[in-house]
Structure 1
Amino acid sequence: MARLTGWLLLWAPLPLLAEETAKAGEIATSGGRAPDTVATILSLGAGLLAVVAIIYGCAWLIRRMGGMTGMNNNAIKVVSVLAIGARERIALVEVGQQQILLGITPSTIRTLHVFDEPVVDAGNAGSSDFARKLQSMIGKSWSAPERKD
């Protein structure tokens, strides 16, 4: 039974194929024109340009809308970032009422210190104020040592 169904499915499209071949033969003998190649290429090119324009328009719209995150960005605030090297940074991030000092490299993000009380006010964080408080917390000097010539 399964073989019979398979043969029927295989032979079913043959009458339709024969009908299309007959119509194509009638067009060729009756002097009908074949589709214009230049018009087809121009139509396809215009469609391609429209699709590319729509893609660029959507990308521009997403950039303008900020990525359409739809999430609450008030929960986490980056208070300050300090570049240590070419690709290394130290960032002070505020989550709720807690501030976290993070070390950021291209391969990892590590927690350096979790502050119990806020070190810097997130509303008016100044870079010199942050550097001074960070220097006092860590105990290192960020300025270059003086030369004795």
Structure 2
Amino acid sequence: MKPIVTALFTALFFLPGNAAHAAEGMPSMASSVAQMIFGLVIVLAALFGVLAMLRKLQGGRTHLVGGLKVIGATSVGPRERVVLVTVGSKVLVLGVTPGRVNALHTLEASELPLAPEPSPAAPNDFAARLRQMLEKRHAG
């Protein structure tokens, strides 16, 4: 009785499902791994192909243009901004909306007012004031 159960178990779980596979025998582990790696290579090649196509469709957006630097920007509406851009020795004031960019004004870089630098005394004043408050607290 035991040999029959063993033979049925072997037939159900280890033999291929159809007659064509039965003639070939079980696929080896190496061929299974090779097939898996081949499929992975195909999927990765397709992924890189799609990414390359997307880059081409975007146009020149991925290329950096030398000499442009955004100095600052501020929002003037829900979807509108004013942007300062340096191009060489010129500073462009641009109005940017979702569908349009307008040149509002052009300045020389020397005409642009420099932002005031924070004074180094400000952190020291805070530290001195904090120290005073802590001393008062511990004394009282």
TM-score of the superposed pair, with normalisation by structure 2: 0.39
**TM-score, normalising length from structure 1?**
0.37
Higher relative contact order structure (alpha carbons within 8 Å, sequence separation ≥ 6): 1
Is the helix fraction higher in 1 or 2? Answer: 2
